[in-house]
């Protein structure tokens, strides 16, 4: 004898059909959403790959800045760090110090790193980077020649002073400072291209700035101004322009600009250099305090 479907049975059947419809709908909705997300991901990847492929046609592309850092700047900085370290050792003197051996090592390093830098190819659309590379090469060549000239001379503090006063060393340092300024100007060009309406283009070309003008500049603009100021002062030192920027911004934040009677940026730079108040990595000590949210390229000396 056939059973009649109860009201409960009908409701259960309808509930099952409804759940099935909802489940199938959710599956296809999820499938479509996943497809759209995957498509968006791959479109972004394709755009990035296309961007990288065409980077040589774009002046001061970030990848050019990164490549320059690793293939040109880093080899030079390795030599520069060794130069200052050996200069300090020579100046300290001591019976165990073989000054000529240290000078020979410096000459070898200068030639070795010049050999690393020379083959680097830089796109013609980024002339500042090409000029910077050429100037770093000139600097290393002159440093190598200087170390040959300085051998078999005085020892200790007298040799360290001769190294500082040697005309070949002075010219080599000048080329390095010019190269540094050109690299920071390239970073500024990158910043301008990626941030339309960027403030500071007029200010960074000036020989001097008021503190009011300085405060309006982004860090990349401050670095360009300082790289040029260091070059003009012949200040060949282990620190970077951003280390000087951090010290100036520290003084400003602490309200010490007026106390020290610093009327403009040039006087602040001169005071910091003459007192040896700037150290390597000063930038990192003050980065979170002063430069949160700054647009910076992905270069190791910023991170």
pLDDT digits (tens, 9 = 90+) for 9-60: 677 777 777 777 776 666 666 666 665 665 565 455 444 444 544 555 689 9
Say what the pLDDT of residue 31 is: 60
User: Can you tell me the distance from the alpha carbon of 36 to that of 128, in angstroms, rounded to the nearest whole number?
Assistant: 42
- Is the pTM of the predicted complex or chain greater than 0.85? no
User: Can you tell me the distance from the alpha carbon of 234 to that of 175, in angstroms, rounded to the nearest whole number?
Assistant: 10
Low-confidence ranges of the chain (pLDDT < 70): 1-5, 7-9, 23-57
Q: Calculate Rg over the CA atoms of the chain.
A: 30
Say what the pLDDT of residue 36 is: 64
Say what the pLDDT of residue 55 is: 53
Task: Characterize 137-163 residue by residue with b for buried, 16 or more Cβ atoms within 10 angstroms of its Cβ, and e for exposed.
Answer: bbbbbbbbbbbeebeeeeeeeebbeeb
């Amino acid at each position: 004898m056939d059973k009649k479907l109860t009201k409960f049975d009908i409701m259960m059947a309808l509930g099952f059909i409804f759940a099935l419809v909802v489940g199938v709908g959710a599956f296809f909705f999820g499938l479509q959403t996943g497809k759209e997300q995957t498509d968006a991901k791959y479109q972004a990847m394709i755009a990035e790959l296309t961007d990288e492929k065409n980077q040589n046609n774009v002046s001061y592309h970030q990848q050019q800045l990164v490549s320059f850092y690793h293939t040109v700047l880093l080899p030079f900085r390795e030599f520069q760090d060794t130069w200052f370290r050996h200069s300090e050792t020579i100046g300290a003197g001591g019976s165990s110090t073989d000054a000529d051996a240290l000078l020979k090592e410096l000459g070898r390093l200068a030639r070795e790193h010049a050999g690393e830098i020379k083959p680097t190819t830089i796109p013609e659309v980024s002339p500042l980077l090409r000029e910077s590379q050429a100037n770093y090469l000139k600097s290393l060549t002159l440093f190598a020649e200087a170390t040959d000239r300085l051998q078999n001379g005085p020892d200790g503090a007298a040799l360290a002073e001769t190294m500082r006063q040697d005309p070949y060393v002075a010219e080599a340092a000048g080329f390095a400072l010019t190269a540094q300024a050109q690299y920071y100007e390239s970073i500024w060009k990158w910043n301008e291209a990626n941030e339309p309406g960027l403030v500071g283009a007029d200010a960074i070309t000036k020989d001097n700035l008021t503190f009011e003008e300085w405060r309006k500049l982004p860090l990349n603009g401050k670095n360009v101004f300082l790289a040029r100021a260091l070059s003009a002062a012949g200040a060949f030192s282990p620190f970077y322009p951003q280390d000087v920027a951090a010290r100036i911004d520290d003084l400003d934040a602490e309200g010490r600009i007026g106390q020290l009677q610093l009327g403009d940026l040039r006087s602040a730079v001169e005071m910091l250099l003459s007192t040896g108040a700037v150290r390597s990595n000063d930038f990192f000590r003050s980065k979170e305090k002063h430069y949160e949210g700054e647009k910076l390229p992905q270069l190791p000396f910023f991170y």
